[in-house]
Amino acid sequence: MRTLISVSSLSKRYRLGLKEKQAETLAGQIGNIIKSPWQNLKRLRGLNRFGQEDESVFWALKDVSFEVKEGEVLGIIGKNGAGKSTLLKILSQITEPTLGKIEIHGRVASLLEVGTGFHPELSGRDNIYMNGTILGMTRREMDSKLDEIIDFSGVEKFIDTPVKFYSSGMKVRLGFSVAAHLDPEILIIDEVLAVGDFEFQKKCLGKMEDVSKSQGRTILFVSHQMEAIRNLCSKCMLLKDGQVIATGETNHTISKYLGSYQFSLRKEFFDIPNASIKWVAIDPKGIENGEFILEVCFESSRHVQYPVVGFVIYNQLGAPVFGSNPRFHKEDYHPKGGKKGLIRAYLKELSLHSGIYKISVWFGDGLNDFEHHEDVLAFEYLSPNSYTQKPNPLIIGSFDPMVTWEAETF
């Protein structure tokens, strides 16, 4: 297989406080992209390699090297700020690298931040034509694709409205549809799909699968949705603080990423002045047995009439799975007031799919919330009810109540 993308020792330096000059509209990018298929070597000398020149200098990518072969679907994962979007912007020639070399063979269509790639004053239809022209397509080719693009985007009602009046979801819909239908050799998609609604996300993932499997196109795909990465990508690369931590088989890379979370089952706040919560903890034994026991120890300078704790559990996408607070429930909860105490929440069955979860905790007196700690604890849960114990397929959600199945056959 031909190597379509080859990146070596790529680094990107930002100066904090200085906004990069970027092409805001597609028209501004035309100058760059029109060179496709291109082969571009860039070497900038005379810059210190990652030396902390001064505090205003920040390396968003450090010495990144990898190759992508024709037909490969490369997933790129990593925490917020890891450098994923920066990498995609460089590959799409929207931003210049500071150091290093990239070679790309083939036409690139990319969907990066919401709205890039569109001229706001032009209608959706005109923008489709403009994008096609940039990718080197003829008017005739465009005419034959137009209906399909509009149809897939689902914005036909607004196709003659200027794009500046589109919602962000509508822009993403049209942007994806254009990028995926213009037969680029290389398709680059950033997280933006998450802006679209659930149904459209599913449709896009299906389309990408089609583009890669049936048309043999090369895709670079950034996502925080591990299930989407797992389904779609043949290879996966993990970025951390601008560096490549792992590349290779998708499941292996995902495990490395998930394993890099700091699991903390207990957090102390003893040295924080004025904090009422002294510590919070979940019982590790409980978690192992499919139970959930959360304990919050408080100590306040004043008498707390009605000490009450609330918590929310979030899945690895940051979506709340469920939360509880005795104020929401009819159940008996009649604590005695006091200055110190231990509050315990007990859940007999956690009913979650296997996965990684985080917890936020509140403490208050029933009228006011005194304290709120986001993502104070994190744990990995391996469901005793699950057959495989593999991390949860988030596409079906995180909640896993015991369902009784029956079948009758005729």
Ligand X SMILES: Nc1ncnc2c1ncn2[C@@H]1O[C@H](COP(=O)(O)OP(=O)(O)OP(=O)(O)O)[C@@H](O)[C@H]1O
Interaction site with ligand X (CB under 6 A): 14, 16, 20, 58, 60, 78, 80-86, 191
Q: Does residue 223 belong to the site contacting Mg ion (CB under 5 A)?
A: no
Q: How far is the CB of 355 from Mg ion (least distance, A)?
A: 22
Residue 43, class by beta-carbon neighbours within 10 Å (0-12 exposed, 13-18 middle, 19+ buried)?
exposed
Copy the structure tokens of residue 281. Answer: 């903890």
User: Which of 165, 212, 173 shows the shortest CA–CA distance to 194?
Assistant: 173
The radius of gyration of the chain's CA atoms, rounded to the nearest angstrom, is 25
Q: Are 133 and 209 in contact (CB under 8 A)?
A: no
Phi-psi region of 71 (alpha: psi -120 to 50; beta: other; left: phi over 0): left
- Based on CB atoms, which residue is closest to Mg ion, 7 or 134? 7
CA 303 – CA 98 distance, rounded (Å):
59
Closest contact distance (angstroms) between CB of 100 and ligand X is 15
Least separation in angstroms between CB 29 and ligand X: 16
By beta-carbon distance, which residue lies closest to Mg ion? 85
**Rounded distance between C-alpha atoms, residue 29 and residue 156, angstroms:** 26
Q: How far is the CB of 84 from Mg ion (least distance, A)?
A: 5
Q: Which is nearer to ligand X, 145 or 358 (CB)?
A: 358
Query: Distance between the two ends of the chain, CA-based, in angstroms?
Result: 51
When binding is defined by CB under 5 A, the residue of 29, 85, 110, 253 that contacts Mg ion is 85
User: Considering the complex, what minimum distance in angstroms separates the CB of residue 364 from ligand X?
Assistant: 31
Closest among 297, 359, 285, 293 to 322, alpha carbons compared: 359
Cis peptide before 97 (omega within 30 of 0): no
Q: What angle is formed at CA 192 by the lines to CA 155 and CA 18, rounded to 5 degrees?
A: 125
392 contact choice in ligand X, Mg ion, none (CB below 5 to 8 Å, kind-dependent): none
The listed partner (Mg ion, ligand X, none) that binds 369, CB under 5 to 8 Å by sort, is none
The partner in contact with residue 384, picked from ligand X, Mg ion, none with C-beta cut-offs of 5 to 8 angstroms by kind, is none
Nearest distance from C-beta of residue 47 to Mg ion, angstroms:
24
Q: Which is nearer to Mg ion, 85 or 110 (CB)?
A: 85
Pick from ligand X, Mg ion, none: which does 100 bind, CB < 5 to 8 A by kind? none
**Nearest CA to 243 among 260, 224, 227?**
260
Q: How many residues bind Mg ion (CB under 5 A)?
A: 1
Q: Which does 93 bind (CB under 5 to 8 A by kind): Mg ion, ligand X, none?
A: none
Q: Tokens 């009046």 map to which residue? A: 165
**β-strand 235-240 against 73-77: which pairing, if any?**
parallel
Contact between 201 and Mg ion per CB under 5 A: no
Task: Rank residues 80 and 409 by Cβ distance to ligand X and give the closer one.
Answer: 80
**In sequence order, which residues have a C-beta less than 8 Å from that of residue 410 and are 6 or more positions away?**
none
Q: Which amino acid is at 16?
A: L
Length of the chain: 410
We find the least distance from the C-beta atom of residue 221 to ligand X, in angstroms, to be 13
Contacts of 138 (CB under 8 A, 6+ apart): none
Question: Nearer to ligand X by C-beta: 185 or 190?
Answer: 190
Shortest Å distance, C-beta 65 to ligand X: 17
Which residue shows structure tokens 């990066």? 112
Task: Return the one option of Mg ion, ligand X, none that residue 181 interacts with (CB less than 5 to 8 A, by type).
Answer: none
Given the structure tokens 């994008």, which residue do they identify?
A: 131
Q: Of 84 and 173, which CB lies nearer to ligand X in the complex structure?
A: 84
Closer to ligand X at the Cβ: 222 or 296? 222
Alpha carbon distance 180, 189 (integer Å): 10
| Cα 309 to Cα 285: distance, rounded to the nearest angstrom | 22
338-341: long-range contacts (C-beta < 8 A, 24 or more apart)? 338/303, 338/304, 338/307, 339/299, 339/300, 339/301, 339/302, 339/303, 339/304, 340/298, 340/299, 340/300, 341/297, 341/298, 341/304, 341/307
Per-residue contact flags (x/-) with Mg ion for residues 31 to 70, judged by CB under 5 A: ----------------------------------------
Kindly tell me which of 84 and 217 has the beta carbon lying closer to ligand X. Answer: 84
- Closest contact distance (angstroms) between CB of 67 and ligand X is 20
| Min separation Cβ 145 and ligand X, Å | 30
257 vs 363 by CB, closer to ligand X: 257
Nearer to ligand X, 81 or 284 (CB): 81
Q: Is 90 helix (H, G, I), strand (E, B) or coil?
A: helix
Q: Using CB under 5 A, which of the segments 62-70, 77-85, 101-109, 392-400 binds Mg ion?
A: 77-85
Answer with the entry of Mg ion, ligand X, none that 230 interacts with (C-beta below 5 to 8 A by kind): none
Contact residues toward Mg ion (CB under 5 A) are 85
